[in-house]
Amino acid sequence: MAKMNESLISSLQTLDRRYVFLFMVIAVIIPFAFDLTFDEVATPEVQAIFQFIEKLPEGAKVLVPFDFDPPSEPELKPMADSYVRHLCQRKQKIYFMALWPMGQAETLDTVNRVIKQEFPQYIYGKDYVMLGYKPGGPGVIQLLLSNFKESYPIDAIGTPITKIPMMQDVKKLEDMDLILNVSAGSPGLKEWIQFGSDRTGTPIGGGVTAVMAPLLYPYYPKQLSGFLGGLKAAAEYESLLIATYPKFYSKDLKVFAGIRRMGPQTLAHLVIIFFIIIGNIAYFVTRRKNKN
Amino acid sequence: MRRQVPLLITFVVGMIMLLEAFVPHPPFDEINEKLTTTFNVLTVFAFILGGGNLVKIHLGQIHRKNPGWGYSLVTILGFFFILVVGLFKFGADSFKQPLESTGTWFYLNYEYCLRPLQATMFSLLAFFVASASYRAFRAKNREATILLIAAFTILLGRTLIGTALTDYFPGSLELLLSTLLAFIAKEMYKSKQWVSFVSLSIIIIVVLSRTLYGYSVLLVNEEFNHLTIPSLVNWIMLVPQLAGQRAIMIGICLGIISMSLRIILGVERSYLGTEND
C-alpha cells in the first residue's frame, strides 16, 4: 500500500502535461455540448458603466473606438456587441473608430451582426458612422482633442466628413458625451484616459481583456466611469441587458456569447484549481518524505 | 554641427509640447496641433520602413537558404498577397467600398485565414496556462504561498463556484480563515513568539465573534453580510493589487519624466547614434 502511494505521489510530481491538456479539452467541450450556463451577478465596475449609459440622454454622442484584433475577440467581442446593443436601445449616436489596423474589420463585423440585423432603423450617417482606422496611436487622440476633421477628413467609406449629418456638430473630442473604448492592449483604454478623457473631461468607460484589467483599477472610479475586465464582466453586462430589457432579450446563447463562453471558462478554471491542489499535495508529501 | 542641430530641434519641440500641456492657448496649441499632424504623417511612413525591413530580412533568409527559410517564403508571399489585394481592393464592387466589406479578397483572407490562425494561436494559451499553473504554483516559501492564496482566491471568485460556496454556507470563509489562522497561531505558540501569538488570537476571536453574531442575526430572519469569496476578490483587486499598481505606475511616471528631461536637455544622446553612424 505504502509503495503504491509512493508511486502515485511520484507520478503526480512528474505528471505528463498531455493529461493536463486532456482535462482542459474535456472542460471546454462539455459546457459547449450541453449549453451549460450560469447566472451572473454584476460587479460594481460593470454596474457603474451600465448605469452611466442608462442615464445618458437620447441622442447623446458616444465615441466607440475598437482597438482589438482576432486573438482577443472571444473576450472582447461579446462586450463590444453588448455596448453597441445598449447604445442602440438607448437611441444614442455612435461614432466608431479604430487605432488598431484590424479594428475597422471588427467594427464592420459588429455593425453587420448587431446594428443591421437587430436595429434596421439605425441609419448610416445619421445614427452611426464608421470613421475607420488611423495610424498614430496617442498622436491621433491628441489631434482629436482640437480637430476632428484634421484626423478624419473622410469616413471609412470615403464620404467627406463635412457631408455626414451627424458629424456637423462634432468639432473636437470635447463634443462627445462619452468615450467607450474596447481594447486589447496599447493604444487602448489607458491611452484614451491619459490623452483623451483627462484632458477634455469627457467621461470614459470601456472594456479590456482580463489580464489588462488590474492595470485599470487605479483609474476607477474617478477617471474611469466603469469598465468590463475579461469575459466574466462581459457576461455580467449581458445579464444586465437581459434583466433591463426583458422585452427585447432572453438568455439566447446565439446572441449572448459572453454567457455561453462562461461555461467553458468556469470549468477550465476549476480544472486549473484542481491541478494546483493536487500539485501542492504531491509537493508537500514529497517534501515531508525527504525531510524524514 | 551634425549633432547640434538635432539636439536643438529636440529641445525646442520638447519645450513647446511641454508648455502646451500647461498653457493650452495660442500659439502653443496651434503649434502642438501641427506637430501632432506631422507625427501622424511620419507614423504612416514608418509602415513603409517596417514593410521594407521585413522584406529585406526575409529575402535575405531565403537567398541564403538559412534554416527555416520556408517560413520566410510564406511570410513574403503573404505580405505581398495582402498588400496587392488591399491596395487594389480586389473583389470590391467599387473603389469606394470599404476594404473590410464582405466579399472583398481582403475580407475573405481576414475571415478565413487571419482570424482562425490568430484565434488558434491564442487558444493554445489556455493549455499552457493550465500546465504552467500545475508545475509552478507551489507553496515553496512564504512569498509563493501568499501569491498562491491570492491567485487561488481570485480564480475561485471569478467562477460562480466561489459565489455559490459562500452563498450556500454563509460564514464558511470566515470559519476557514479562522482555522488557518489558528494553525499559524499554534506554530507561533510552539516557537514561543508570544506577541504574534496574542495578536493572531485576538484576530481569531474577533473574526469568530463576528461570524457567530452573524448566525444569530440570520436565525431571526434578518440580513447579515458575511464575508464572501467575491467580496474578498473585490478587496484584493481594490486594496493590495491597487496599491502595487499605483506604486509601479508612479515609478514608471517618474522614470519617464526624468528620461524626457534628459532627452530634452541633451543629456541623453543615445537616440542620435554614435559618431561612426
Closest Cα in chain A, distance from residue B124 (Å): 10
Q: What is the end-to-end Cα distance of chain A in Å, rounded?
A: 19
Mean pLDDT of B14-37: 84
pLDDT of B16: 86
User: Using CA atoms, how far apart are residues A272 and B131, in angstroms rounded to an integer?
Assistant: 8
User: Using CA atoms, how far apart are residues B226 and B215, in angstroms rounded to an integer?
Assistant: 9
Listed residue (A94, A48, A78, A54) closest to A209, CA to CA: A78
Distance of CA A140 to the CA centre of its chain: 22
pLDDT of A3: 66
User: Using CA atoms, how far apart are residues A150 and A270, in angstroms rounded to an integer?
Assistant: 51
Q: Which of B98, B160, B241 sits opposite A217 (nearest CB)?
A: B241
A199 vs A251, higher pLDDT: A199
Q: Which residues, including other chains, have CB under 8 Å from residue A185's CB and lie 6 or more apart?
A: A67, A68, A212
Provide the phi-psi class of A59: left if phi over 0, else alpha when psi is between -120 and 50, else beta: left
- Residues of chain B found within 8 Å of residue A17, distances taken between Cβ atoms: 131, 134-135
**pLDDT per residue over A104-119, tens digit each?**
989 999 999 999 999 9
Q: Which residues, including other chains, have CB under 8 Å from residue B63's CB and lie 6 or more apart?
A: none
How high is the mean pLDDT of chain A?
Answer: 89
- Asked if residues B105 and B90 have their Cβ atoms less than 8 Å apart, the reply is yes
**pLDDT per residue over A192-210, tens digit each?**
999 999 989 999 999 999 9
Closest Cα in chain A, distance from residue B144 (Å): 12
Mean pLDDT of A64-69: 94
Element (H, E) at A52: helix A44-55
Neighbours of B177 (CB within 10 A): 17
pLDDT of A240: 94
pLDDT of A1: 62
- Domain ranges (residues) in chain A: 2-37+271-291, 44-250
- pLDDT band of residue B38 (cuts 50, 70, 90) is confident
User: Using CA atoms, how far apart are residues B240 and B242, in angstroms rounded to an integer?
Assistant: 5
Among A82-96, B54-68, B185-199, which stretch is predicted with the lowest mean pLDDT?
B185-199
- Look at the domain A44-250 and name its fold: Rossmann fold (3.40.50)
- Asked if residues B239 and A217 have their Cβ atoms less than 8 Å apart, the reply is no
Share of chain B above pLDDT 90, in %: 25
Whether the complex's predicted ipTM is more than 0.85 is answered with no
DSSP 8-state symbol, A155 = -
A142 contacts B36? CB cut-off 8 A: yes
- Identify the bridge partners of residue A160 per DSSP, sorted by sequence position: A154
SS (H, E, C) chain B: CCCHHHHHHHHHHHHHHHHHHHCCCCCHHHHHHHHHHHHHHHHHHHHHHHHHHHHHHHHHHHHHCCCCHHHHHHHHHHHHHHHHHHHCCCCCCCCCCCCCCCCCHHHHHHHHHHHHHHHHHHHHHHHHHHHHHHHHCCCCCHHHHHHHHHHHHHHHHHCHHHHHHHHHCCCHHHHHHHHHHHHHHHHHHHCCCHHHHHHHHHHHHHHHHHHHHHHHHHHCCCCCCCCCHHHHHHHHHHCHHHHHHHHHHHHHHHHHHHHHHHHHCCCCCHHHCCCCC
Q: What are phi and psi of B66, to 5 degrees?
A: -65, 160
Q: What is the end-to-end Cα distance of chain B in Å, rounded?
A: 15
pLDDT of A32: 87
Residue A234's identity, in one-letter code, is: A
Q: Which of residues 83-112 of B touch A (CB under 8 A)?
A: 96-102, 107, 110
Neighbours of B106 (CB within 10 A): 22
B131 contacts A217? CB cut-off 8 A: no
A151 contacts B159? CB cut-off 8 A: no
Q: Which of B36, B44, B155 sits opposite A273 (nearest CB)?
A: B155
pLDDT of A64: 96
Q: Which of B98, B131, B230 sits opposite A20 (nearest CB)?
A: B131
pLDDT of B202: 92
- pLDDT band of residue A2 (cuts 50, 70, 90) is low
Q: What is chain B's length?
A: 277
Distance of CA A9 to the CA centre of its chain: 41
Q: What are phi and psi of A64, to 5 degrees?
A: -120, 90
- Residues of chain B found within 8 Å of residue A142, distances taken between Cβ atoms: 32, 36
A-B CB pairs within 8 A amount to: 146
- Residue B161 pLDDT exceeds 70: yes
- Specify the pTM: 0.85
**pLDDT per residue over B89-131, tens digit each?**
888 887 777 777 778 898 898 889 988 898 888 888 888 888 8
**pLDDT per residue over B209-222, tens digit each?**
888 888 888 888 77
